[in-house]
Amino acid sequence: MPETSEGRVAVYIDFDNIVISRFAQVHKGKGGGERLNRIDAATIANDADLAQRLREATVDIGAILDFATSFGSVVISRAYADWSAAVNASYRQQLINRAVDLVQLFPTSGQKNGADIRLAIDAVEDLFRLPDITHVVIVAGDSDYIALAQRSKRLGRRVIGIGVAGSTSESLAAACDEFADYDTLIEPEDEPEEEPKPILTEVPVVKSPAAKKAPAAKKAQAAPDPKRAAGRLLRKALQLVATKEDTDWVLSTSVKNQMLRIDPTFSEKALGHKTFSDFVKEYNSVVERDDTTSIRKLRLRA
């Protein structure tokens, strides 16, 4: 396998598994999680309690993908599910915005959609086809993926597993080089980067020309503040690098590289700063700087 200057990561998400596991974790003892992929949009639209429970169990895909970038550049990211199911469909735009390939799997018998077989075959094929892949991230908790983890390690790749506490096979966790609980990837105060849109049946409405202008104005008001978003990105990147390197002070260049892995559109110049150091100075309330040497370092303020 050719040597690379930084990690090249392949991410495989058993989407039904992670969504159902999260729902079961949040709503312990209430049941119904195993039937999520059979609920249609009309049922959700007419059941306020169910819609609320789904919102409470929303999976933050951004947190998972951000964590994956801490191992290097994500060169493959795929999510496997029946995307015609209403619950899964509500995540489609969030996944597409993060350049995740959506692999459609229709159930062939009962609830089984064969995601584990398809995901494992694709992953092994990718490892032989792309010898420069250094890390394999498996987002699932099913013991069926033990063989994939073992084969990936045998082929010289480092395997990282991500699953939901309480729904993850201990054997799968043991088969990985590293395993992270989903809860450790998100902060309690954080919201998903883009919550799934409400699942409602479409009702055509005829609007007057004047009324058509209202949504545009509302959308403009809801536009995120670029500087606030950049501050959150800086904080997230610094946390990931510090955790990965197991140290408080980290290189400024490492932080910027991590920011670009999470959001390739980031540019300090677009925010009015000549250099990355000038950009960091604007966030003194969040970040401490060590400028005593030519090698600039950063850390989060307590």
* 148-204: pLDDT as tens digits: 999 999 999 999 999 998 888 999 999 999 999 999 898 655 445 455 554 544 434
- Range of the structural domain that residue 278 is part of: 226-300
Question: DSSP assignment, residue 23?
Answer: H
**CA–CA distance, 151 with 154 (Å, rounded to integer):** 5
The torsion region of residue 163 among left (phi > 0), alpha (psi -120 to 50) and beta comes to beta
Question: DSSP assignment, residue 50?
Answer: H
* Within a domain: 61: yes
* Within a domain: 268: yes
95 & 15 share domain: yes
Closest CA to 81 of 66, 62, 59: 59
**CA–CA distance, 127 with 134 (Å, rounded to integer):** 9
Choosing from 185, 213, 245, the residue where a domain stops is 185
pLDDT tens across 30-56, in order?
555 667 877 888 888 888 888 898 989
Q: How many structural domains is the chain composed of?
A: 2
Structure token digits, residue 231: 């501050």
165 & 48 share domain: yes
**CA–CA distance, 123 with 256 (Å, rounded to integer):** 30
266 & 168 share domain: no
Structure token digits, residue 117: 């077989």
178-181 and 101-104: which strand pairing? unpaired
* Within a domain: 177: yes
17 & 131 share domain: yes
pTM, entire model: 0.79
Which band of pLDDT confidence, cut at 50, 70 and 90, is reported for residue 108?
A: low
Reply yes or no on whether the pLDDT at 84 is more than 60. yes
Which residue type occupies 295? I
Using H for helix, E for strand and C for coil, what is the string for 197-246?
CCCCCCCCCCCCHHHHHHHHHHHHHCCCCHHHHHHHHHHHHHHHHHHHHC
**CA–CA distance, 256 with 15 (Å, rounded to integer):** 30
100 & 24 share domain: yes
244 & 174 share domain: no
163 & 274 share domain: no
171 & 28 share domain: yes
Instruction: Give the 3-state secondary structure of residue 100.
Output: coil
73-81 and 158-163: which strand pairing? unpaired
- Specify the higher pLDDT residue, 222 or 228: 228
> Side by side, which strands form the sheet with 135-139?
101-104, 73-81, 8-14, 135-139, 158-163, 178-181
Reply yes or no on whether the pLDDT at 73 is more than 90. yes
Closest CA to 20 of 59, 62, 52: 59
Which band of pLDDT confidence, cut at 50, 70 and 90, is reported for residue 29?
A: low
* Within a domain: 3: no
* Within a domain: 217: no
* Within a domain: 200: no
178 & 238 share domain: no
DSSP string, 162-180: EE-TTSS-HHHHHHSSEEE
124 & 179 share domain: yes
Q: What would the mean pLDDT of 120-125 be, rounded to a whole number?
A: 96
* Within a domain: 162: yes
Choosing from 130, 158, 185, the residue where a domain stops is 185
236 & 181 share domain: no
60 & 144 share domain: yes
Choosing from 185, 218, 252, the residue where a domain stops is 185
Decide: 158 and 177 in contact? Cβ < 8 Å: yes
Q: What would the mean pLDDT of 229-240 be, rounded to a whole number?
A: 91
CATH number at residue 109: 3.40.50.1010
* Within a domain: 254: yes
CATH number at residue 256: 3.30.420.610
**CA–CA distance, 116 with 33 (Å, rounded to integer):** 18
